Chain A
Amino acid sequence: MEKGKLYSIPGTVISTQHGHLLVSSGIDSLDTVLGGGLPVGTVALIEEDFRGLYSKVLLKYFLAEGLTAKHSIFIASQDVNPANIVSELPAVIESDPEPENPSKGHEINDKMKIAFRYQNISSAMQSSHIKHIGHHFDLSRTMSFSDLENSDIYYWTGQRIETGTNSFLNPAYNDLLKSVKDKIKEGKFFLKDNPESKTILRIGIHSLGSPMWLPCRKSIHSMDSSSQDLNMFIFCLRALVRSANAVAVITVPSYLYGEESLERCIHSSDISMRLQSFTGTELENNQSLQDYHGFFYLTKLAAINSLASKHPGSVEYVFKLRRKKFVIDMLHLPPDIGDDKENKKKESVPMLGCGGSNKHLLEF
């Protein structure tokens, strides 16, 4: 790759370490976790949370960032109308809507003594050395219609599927691949093409492999055999995206599949992450996790163009969806102070019966 030429693409930055061309995922904290952003020419797989709420937010950020940076967009879904996803994209704003560290408290923090073994561990994720390449978005407002009008957006709904012989069980996968390829060809995104102004194609696929993607009724298939289609699709998409100035983000409802059936998909994708929301689980009422909405697992971060992956190692991440902003954060358990008060409260609850209300622990 000639680096000089690539510099001109808006909304991208070249990683000094590996020579990757990076684009932002739209979420500042996610870019930091991924080591700067999503490398162009890769496929990122997001395993959806149980209701698919938060994974959709990630996808929206990814697309909104693309629109703001004047990238072309390809959006596909069979579950919802992709036009709806686009109409709900967050609006771009000037600065961070809800900044993490208010500057006032800094001086006090510096003086505070902490145990020496924690001294070198930063409390927030180190983002200072990585320049933020994306924009800031406000989730409470939607992108204005005029912004959408001038952008290059392709919607794929799975409505007009030609039934031809192909190697997929479900022709929808084939059709989607074909549409992506046509789009890449038409927009001259192939690496071998040399258009006057280069840009990036962002491919967002929502809920790939959901029940809407099951093969047609003629054949008897279970979700298991449809994961064959999914494997093949992701492998072919990867081959396609590698040969173009494109980056793909796919969300997959992984809980519908068996434990091992997504292994191959993860192997074929370059980045794989999983969202596990607390909603509906016993973690929902856990006191120490009450600030967060779920766990964020970075299952795979492939080493592309290098020997070492930028995987942060054994760090646990959590995410929270604030009113205006989606944040991924390192998991910190709060100090064990709050619980004491609550225990006392429970004890002081007046009880009926002969013991009286404030019974001392030593009394029988």
Chain B
Amino acid sequence: MASLSDPRISNPVLSSLKIQSNDRIIFIRENALADSNFIITHLLKQFFYEKSRVCFLTLHNTLDHYQNVGKKLGYDLKEAIECNNIKIVDPLADIVEGIGKEIEESFEESQMLKCLFLSIKKHIDNYCSLKDCPVYLVIDDVSHFLDLAIDLSQIISFINYCINLTNNDNISVVINAHVGSKNDEIVAKSVQHICDVFVEISQLKTGKSTDITGLMTIQRGDSINNYHYRTFDRGVKTFHPGETIYNLYK
């Protein structure tokens, strides 16, 4: 019996997502100009509630951002880092370090992904050896590898390695990808092909609205659920299409 404090019941986004422990590969596709970041920040809330461990690869937003949003959603990321519940892998610092250096010593494409994966693997192995609890690998925006001029095949194989981690029953993977160009589409389609839960965030087709921020599609197997969502300063509300008007003016 789930308690009322369970965010999967009380939080509108998480109750629409209905992520279970047997959902091994969760893929979030962010279409151009939409912002899917709230899915990850909400999922983190659920993971912390479930006392899972998280390895978090941040490429798009900084730790400060997640800390600030986390506080609004009711969890403290920095505290979680201190308690060793989450490990942040932040390649941005290395990229800044590598600027201006010769290619041999700075980020060489294939080497970079290899190093990244090895450090992720190290953290996850570490968590797995600690206790028998679920471990999540969260990748915020895998499509940024394309910006770094990394070959498409290498990105796919990096994703492949990450997904193979789920062979261990305790490990699940959450991947976020932005789709704007052709190559993004290839990455996104290939992850979509193997994922258990597919979440798509897009803007409204008709333009911008003050009542609705965008459209959220959740696909699990054959069942497809469409939601509208609206972001507020301190949370996100979800609606079934058409019922927005009743919820907003309550």
Is the CB of A309 closer than 8 A to any CB of chain B?
yes
Contact of B99 with A177 in the complex, beta carbons under 8 Å: yes
Which residue, B68, B100, B144, B235, has most C-beta atoms of chain A within 10 A?
B100
**CB neighbours of A177 from chain B (8 A):** 99-100
Q: If A235-B147, A242-B62, A313-B209 touch, does A306 touch B102 (CB 8 Å cutoff)?
A: no
Asked if A232 lies at the interface with its beta carbon under 8 angstroms from chain B, I say yes
Measured CB to CB, the closest approach of chain A to B196, in angstroms, equals 26
B residues near A212, Cβ cutoff 8 Å = none
Task: Give A229 Cβ to nearest chain B Cβ, in Å.
Answer: 8
Q: Mark B55-81, 1 if CB is under 8 A from A, else 0.
A: 000000110110011001100000000
| Cβ A166 vs Cβ B208 within 8 A | no
B93 within 8 Å of A (CB atoms) = yes
Of B61, B182, B232, chain A has the most CB atoms within 10 Å of the CB of: B61
Q: What are the residues of chain B within 8 A of A313 when measuring CB–CB?
A: 208-210
Inter-chain contact total with CB atoms closer than 8 Å: 115
Tell me if B37 and A303 are in contact (CB < 8 A): yes
Q: Is the CB of B233 within 8 A of A307?
A: yes
B234 proximity list for chain A (CB < 8 A): 307
Most buried by B among A18, A182, A235, A309: A235
Contact of A302 with B by CB under 8 A: yes
Q: Are A239 and B95 in contact, CB atoms less than 8 angstroms apart?
A: yes
- Pairwise interchain contact B99-A240, C-beta atoms closer than 8 A: yes
* B149 with A239: CB separation less than 8 A: no
- A232 to B109, alpha carbons, bound, how many Å? 12
User: What's the tally of chain A residues with a CB closer than 8 Å to chain B?
Assistant: 43
Which residues of A have CB within 8 Å of B178?
267
B147-165 residues with Cβ-Cβ distance < 8 A to A are: 147-149
Check if B107 is an interface residue, CB within 8 A of chain A: yes
Known contacts A264-B180, A266-B180; A314 and B210 CB within 8 A of each other: yes
With A and B bound together, what is the CA distance between A263 and B92 in angstroms?
21
Answer yes or no: B236 CB below 8 A from chain A CBs: yes
Asked if B190 CB lies within 8 Å of chain A CBs, one says no
Q: Considering the chains assembled together, what is the distance between the CA atoms of A8 and B197 in angstroms?
A: 48
Chain A residues whose C-beta falls within 8 Å of the C-beta of B213 in the assembled complex: 308
B221 at the interface (CB under 8 A from A): no
Give chain A interface residues in 259-312, CB to chain B under 8 Å: 260-261, 263-264, 266-268, 299-300, 302-309, 311
Q: Does A142 sit at the interface, judged by CB under 8 A?
A: no
Q: How far is the CB of B99 from chain A (nearest CB, A)?
A: 5
Q: How far is the CA of A267 from the CA of B34 in the complex (A)?
A: 10
Min CB distance B231 to A, Å, is 4
Q: List 12 A-B contacts (CB under 8 A).
A: A1-B64, A165-B103, A166-B102, A231-B146, A264-B146, A267-B143, A300-B33, A307-B41, A307-B232, A307-B234, A309-B35, A314-B209
Chain A contacts to B: CB under 8 angstroms: 1, 17-19, 164-167, 174, 177-178, 181-182, 228, 231-232, 234-236, 239-240, 242-243, 260-261, 263-264, 266-268, 299-300, 302-309, 311, 313-314
Pick the 10 closest A-B CB pairs, nearest first.
A263-B180, A178-B100, A305-B68, A235-B147, A308-B231, A314-B208, A239-B92, A313-B210, A231-B147, A165-B103
